[in-house]
Amino acid sequence: MTAEPSRAERTPFETPDLSEKGGIKDGRRQSLDRRLFMLLQAFGDCHDTAPLVDALARAAVPGVLYADLHDPRGVALLTFSDDPDFFVDTLRPVLAGGPFGGLTQKPALTMLGRTYALGYEPDLEDVLLHRPVRHALNPAWPWAVWYPLRRSGAFARLPDDEQRAILKEHGVIGMTYGRADLAHDIRLACHGLDRHDNDFVVGLLGRELHPLSAVVQSMRGTQQTSLYLTSLGPFFVGKAIWRGGAVTTAAPRAAGDTPG
């Protein structure tokens, strides 16, 4: 098996390979040209959530409806699909009319991102398409904190091995909280998808609210947060009051496994 070329070794005219790469499985590196898009939209002036729940259920929208902790009349809706057309063709009419049509949208809290791979995932398809949905719909984890972040350009210019070391420091904290069932994350890339030019969207989910705050506090001292972030937030804090549907999928695109 041959190693993948480093950034310095890639030629500027090489056709981009947009598929996500995972770890070695059955002697071959996993590759999949599918990913999940997740969209969080927040609204105000909601005096009754029951009509919203009814509209979502009737339209079979997959997602989670949160009560906004910061706004007694606020809600937020998390939806997801691996087909971006879903958000325009199916979701948009639901939100433009009916009970959602009378709400006041909060654009500052709109977050859109896509799942991505780090290159060593043992089950690439599960990480990209299924695990984020299980996390979001898990009734044992009703509390959620969602926020975007942007890394500095200096981080992007670091050698790959230095980037991995910095991200590992962050990852260890996340795994520690996850194994203790204190906090579980959904990580999304939002390059070019965010109106404020953020790089990532993070969702922290858990049984209780305090551990979600504690994990953010723990990460303040990491190199990534203290040295290489230019912005963090705004934060949406909410508790799930409805979950429904299943992930809407598009027809699979041919990608298959490629040699590692």
**76 occurs within a structural domain:** no
- By three-state DSSP, how is residue 67 classified? strand
Residue 181, domain extent: 124-238
Give 187-244 pLDDT, tens digit per residue. 999 999 999 999 999 999 999 999 999 999 999 888 888 888 999 999 999 999 999 9
- Round to whole Å and give the CA distance between 230 and 225: 9
**245 occurs within a structural domain:** no
Of 49 and 170, the structure prediction assigns the larger pLDDT to 49
Other beta carbons less than 10 A from residue 117's beta carbon: 18
**232 occurs within a structural domain:** yes
Q: 114: which strand partners?
A: 37, 189
- CATH number of the domain residue 225 falls in: 3.30.70.1030
Q: Which residues contact 98 (CB under 8 A, 6 or more apart)?
A: 51, 55
- Mean pLDDT calculated for residue range 41-47: 98
- Round to whole Å and give the CA distance between 226 and 218: 11
Q: Which residues contact 189 (CB under 8 A, 6 or more apart)?
A: 113, 114, 115, 116, 199, 200, 201
**133 occurs within a structural domain:** yes
Q: Are 149 and 226 in contact (CB under 8 A)?
A: no
Q: How many domains does the chain have?
A: 1
Q: What is the largest CA-CA distance in the chain?
A: 60
**139 occurs within a structural domain:** yes
Tokens matching residue 231: 């912005």
With CA atoms as reference, report the closest residue to 226 among 164, 159, 149: 149
**49 occurs within a structural domain:** no
Q: Are 236 and 40 in contact (CB under 8 A)?
A: yes
Give 55-79 pLDDT, tens digit per residue. 999 999 999 999 999 999 999 999 9
Give 94-142 pLDDT, tens digit per residue. 999 999 999 999 999 999 999 999 988 999 999 999 999 999 999 999 9
CA 8 to chain CA centroid, Å, is: 29
Is the link from the previous residue into 211 a cis peptide, with omega within 30 of 0? no
**211 occurs within a structural domain:** yes
**51 occurs within a structural domain:** no
